[in-house]
Amino acid sequence: MTTITALFSKINDSHIASERFKGVSGDLAKVIVFPMLGILGFLLLWSVAAQNIDTSLGKFPGPASVVEQFGNLYEEHVREREKAEAFYERQEKRNADRMAKDPDFVPKIRDYTGKETFLDQIITSLVTVVSGFLLAAAIAIPLGIAVGLSKPLNSAVNPIVQIFKPVSPLAWLPLVTMVVSALYNTPDPSVPKSFLNSMITVTLCCLWPMVINTSVGVASIDSDLVNVSKVLRLPPLTHVRKIVLPASIPMIFTGMRLSFGVAWMVLIAAEMLAQNPGLGKFVWDEFQNGSSDSLSRIMAAVLVIGFIGFLLDRGMLQIQRYVSWDKASADR
């Protein structure tokens, strides 16, 4: 009898143990195994499909040739940097020589004007998207708060936002370009015009979703909380700082994440369209180049664009988790 109970308890134990193991392995499967399987499946599908697509530039690139191009792109970057260094070295030496001969000589330092490498273009695009996004946030959040707080202002601004929201920011691009070149014509610009064009396009893209989300967040604050503020007679600015802003942080971040994602997509397109430096220009240049490597280099760029977009969203999510009191809203 005792042996049977012992046996039972043993079975029970092992059952619990296996259950526990299942829990761990279940997580493992979810985090590592299944995503790996998904990626492998995609790679397989890709290479099979690639072999069967013939383009005027040769076969569509498979995973292997794209990996190879990643290596090439990096090497090109290193080589270009070496060239630049050599150029500056030569320039310095030349200037030093002339100074030695002629003490009155004022050396002119010329910038190296080599071709931007893939890595340079990535940095350019990132800087552009972040600056445009920050500019949009600086305008949209205060505006959204004002619109959310004031019904008359809301009625005044709403039609404008509703009309501009569905406009693709790319439609603005020609106008932005013209306005920038008309208004921004210092002889020695500290920031290039092309950067401003791309940045403003990003700003226009981010502005509307951020204004809408912020104002909706502000307008939908629990009326009890507003009443608390009234009973305490909080001055307007304190009311915004202590009640309105924290209460609408989750919605503000939803708008920010939404627009950041779209902004990244739009930026690449804008760079292609306007030939502004950045990843978009890289893609376009490769396309125009039309060499046998072009397609695999474009494919490499596509993967990088996707990966960066993913990282940007993750980054925003982390910031939201850190800033927002409503932890649940960050997981939505």
Provide the binding-site residues for other proteins, judged by CB under 8 A: 222, 224-225, 227-228, 230-234, 238, 242-243, 246-247, 249, 325-326
User: Which residue, 43 or 232, is less far from other proteins as judged by CB?
Assistant: 232
Question: Are the beta carbons of 117 and 80 closer than 8 angstroms?
Answer: yes
**What's the CA gap between 126 and 205, in Å, rounded?**
16
> How far is the first Cα of the chain from the last one, in angstroms, to the nearest whole number?
54
User: Which residue, 48 or 228, is less far from other proteins as judged by CB?
Assistant: 228
Q: What token pair was written down for 34?
A: 């299944």
Q: What token pair was written down for 80?
A: 């270009």
Quote the distance between the C-alpha of residue 167 and its chain's center.
Answer: 20
User: Which residue, 18 or 220, is less far from other proteins as judged by CB?
Assistant: 220
Kindly state the DSSP code that residue 233 receives in the 8-state scheme. T
Reported as half-sphere exposure (CB side, CA atoms, 13 A), residue 306 has a value of: 6
The residue assigned the tokens 């090439």 is 72
**What's the CA gap between 75 and 287, in Å, rounded?**
20
Q: How far is the CB of 240 from other proteins (least distance, A)?
A: 14
Q: How far is the CB of 255 from other proteins (least distance, A)?
A: 18
User: Which residue, 32 or 225, is less far from other proteins as judged by CB?
Assistant: 225
User: Which residue, 61 or 250, is less far from other proteins as judged by CB?
Assistant: 250
Q: How far is the CB of 238 from other proteins (least distance, A)?
A: 8
Question: Are the beta carbons of 116 and 124 closer than 8 angstroms?
Answer: yes
User: Which residue, 178 or 225, is less far from other proteins as judged by CB?
Assistant: 225
Question: Are the beta carbons of 170 and 273 closer than 8 angstroms?
Answer: yes
Q: Would you put residue 97 in left (φ > 0), alpha (ψ -120 to 50) or beta? A: alpha
Q: How far is the CB of 110 from other proteins (least distance, A)?
A: 55
User: Which residue, 109 or 237, is less far from other proteins as judged by CB?
Assistant: 237
Q: How far is the CB of 152 from other proteins (least distance, A)?
A: 18
Q: What token pair was written down for 218?
A: 């502000």
Q: How far is the CB of 222 from other proteins (least distance, A)?
A: 7
**What's the CA gap between 148 and 73, in Å, rounded?**
48
Q: How far is the CB of 61 from other proteins (least distance, A)?
A: 50
**60, amino acid identity:** F
User: Which residue, 183 or 328, is less far from other proteins as judged by CB?
Assistant: 328
* 169: number of Cβ within 10 Å: 24
Q: How far is the CB of 247 from other proteins (least distance, A)?
A: 8
